[in-house]
A = this chain, B = another copy of it.
Amino acid sequence: MLIITRNIIYLMLTSSCIQCSFGAFCLNKAQINIIKKERRLKKNELLHTDNQPFDHLYAIQCGALKTYSIDPMGNELIHGIYLKNEIYGYDAIYKKHHLFSAEALSETVVCEISYSSFLELLQKKPELLHLILYRMSQQLTFGAYLKFITAPQRLAAFILDISTRLLTEQSQSRFLLPMTYQDIGNYLGLATETISRILSQFKKNRIITIERKYIHILQTQLLTHIADGFK
């Protein structure tokens, strides 16, 4: 029987911190007190609500988040998807409060850092500056494909986007889609039925396979082809 000691927990934590986006901010022992705390969210649990004041940035250790608002007709509008190893919260710096609610798409662990500590550390360690600008710049490019016109185009681009953001060397073109078709539809501005139909097409054409929630991309080139707008 395994007895979990503080040491083991520590090891588990540090190993999960290796890839953390806040690594530069906390792996160093001298700085570890800056991280306010780790938060564990169950599926569908809220990280924060709409309109809540902005204080913290979050590094997503595992799991995924969505930000969303509800329109007057009661439809959920998903504004952003944030995955493992990404930093969430930048978008709220501008208005000083969160524009959207943020909810866990699955069991999710985030590391919280206060924005003021973040700024402070950034000033002490200017070599982090480019890293942060780099990561914000990356988020500026997220969701560019939402401007694509046709549904297959958007969905193909979405799959490629998520895959490049999730895939590692081990996982080779096979990854867990961390959300329901409903969520995808709300994100892409498409009905769930449309998502289902188009994915069926993709499967029929041997472009991807889906079992459970695992997507396997068989023909990346064909997907990019579709995303690029070829017919």
Contact = CB atoms under 8 A, between A and B. Distances in A.
B91 A137 contact: yes
A144 B100 CA distance: 11
B91 A149 contact: no
Contacts of A140: 90-91, 94, 136, 139-140
| SS of A interface (majority) | helix
A177 interface: no
A228 B91 contact: no
A159 B73 CA distance: 22
Oligomer: number of copies: 2
A77 interface: yes
A133 interface: yes
Q: How large is the interface on A (under 10, 10 to 19, 20 to 34, 35 or more residues)?
A: 35 or more
Interface string A50-87: 00000000000000000000011101011100000000
A229 B146 contact: no
A93 interface: yes
Contacts of A149: 189
Contacts of A126: 119, 122-123, 126
A155 to B, nearest CB: 14
Contacts of A147: 77-79, 146, 187, 189
